[in-house]
A and B are shown apart, each in its own frame.
Chain A
Amino acid sequence: MILTLARPVVTFVVLIGAWWAATRLASIPFYLLPQPPAVLHALWQQRVLLASATLTTFSEMALGLVIGTLLGSLCALAMAFSPRLQRWIMPLLLLSQAIPAFALAPLLVLWFGFGMASKVVMATIVIFFPVAAAFSDGLRHTDPGWMDLAHTMGASPGAILRHVRLPAAMPAFASGLRVATAIAPIGAIVGEWVGASAGLGYVMLNANARIQTDVMFAALFVLALMTVLIWTVVDRVLRRILYWAPDSNGAAR
């Protein structure tokens, strides 16, 4: 328990130390790489701006995560229930990935405005695919023995989906959701870069234009911290759901 807490702290301290040493020893100019105390100072100075920006970006990520996971799961379930539907949806899914989400960002801002909606859509698109792909894969690869047993017990296709294929696909769903959570900020931040009046991406872009590198780093730091926190919460919830598969999935404790 102490070790699991100590590991991230050690990693954090070593990284900051290396950063500090690099700025000191190589005398890198402030506008390229500010020193850690300067970033800390900016963090405190801009706390009001950063807090409201964090709230915006967090809401975009959280909404995108919920909507993207819901849509991705529904899509995977629909494909599992009807193989015919799968033949129609799968090419669309692949096509959606052939167009990079980044290339869509300006279009989404044009369609959904400068507000949060375009960023939520963006985050949803980024999160949708890993969830749909992993979950659908899990639903299609149920242990044939479990399926045989259910068939001999006279289970209907609906009952097999609900009581066999769905629970059996939960580990795959969990790994898809973990990947999606880790990349969730991409959607929100890229959306904010293209056009926004709030959020951490907006703060970073503004600070960049004014060469306030320390503020940029402060925003980045908050973003990283937030992503790690969301990932941890999602991971905890998934472990709770997957009480029956303790070691076979996810990161080690």
Chain B
Amino acid sequence: MNDNDARTHRPAPGQVDLPGLRISGLGLQYGSRAIFTDLDLTVQGGEFVVLLGTSGVGKSSLLKIVAGLTRASTGTVTASDGRPLAGRIAYMGQQDLLYPWLTVIENVMLGARLRGERPDPDRARHLLGRVSLHERAKALPSELSGGMRQRVAIARTLYESHPFVLMDEPFSALDTFTRAQVQDLTAELLQDHTVLLITHDPLEACRIGHRLVVLSGHPARLGEPIHVPGPTPRAPDDDALLHIQGHLMRILMEGHRA
């Protein structure tokens, strides 16, 4: 395990100070069944934290609570700057969640449409350019490949220009190679955001996370944070990465058996 300071991965000085995310004493209970209890996690401003867990451990529920979509049984989620979280979170779900009846550029500007604001096509086109989909602005999602659709979803997330980004296994439907490409893009484009990503893929966690936390057990608890050294996105054959990936795999397998 490497104890590198998370601060080394923070955005360069001169950038606007990003608020962090504080989860404290969070618990979720369905009837008499406790999904997780007493979770504490802090995401520093500008940090990319990956929450790892096997399926069914309650990580999606945790993310939905942070996103304000579900209520927690106990505990709170707050922003480090004291302002409310609501309206400052961009959410990426398990699928790309593109609306099939809207064109690519309309999907990027979805937030404006839903809030009744005036859309900004120039900004949307600029963001589509950053995910290399400038020429496909007028296409329908059904005409795009899985990787392209996911890139549109990233552009839509960026369009929101919120400090917080929550991602719920966003790349799980992609093939390994496309997934690696989209991970690179994500690590690059979400640099100045405070990100909490959940996944069951140790390689994904090691490639793009500044700090990794494992959620396991019944009821689920968070393990000790693991720092991965070096700037993201990391090469898949990086020695430290491979070591930590193996370590994570072992923790997840043990947790799953228990």
Contact = CB atoms under 8 A, between A and B. Distances in A.
Contact of B100 (A145, A151, A153, A244): A244
Contacts of B86: 154
Contacts, number: 61
A163 interface: yes
B64 interface: yes
A156 B114 CA distance: 8
Q: Which residue, of B87, B97, B160, has the highest number of chain A Cβ atoms within 10 A?
A: B97
Interface residues of B, number: 26
Given A153-B110, A153-B160, A148 B69 contact: yes
Contacts of A245: 100-101
Nearest to B142: A244
A148 B91 contact: yes
A164 B102 CA distance: 10
Contacts of B111: 153-154
A9 interface: no
Interface residues of A, number: 23
A167 B115 CA distance: 17
A99 interface: no
A94 interface: no
A155 B114 contact: yes
B67 interface: yes
Contacts of A38: none
Contacts of B166: 152
Interface of A: 143, 145-146, 148-156, 159-160, 163-164, 167-168, 170, 243-246
16 contacts: A148-B64, A148-B67, A148-B97, A150-B114, A152-B90, A152-B91, A152-B166, A154-B115, A155-B114, A155-B115, A163-B113, A163-B114, A164-B114, A167-B99, A244-B101, A246-B142
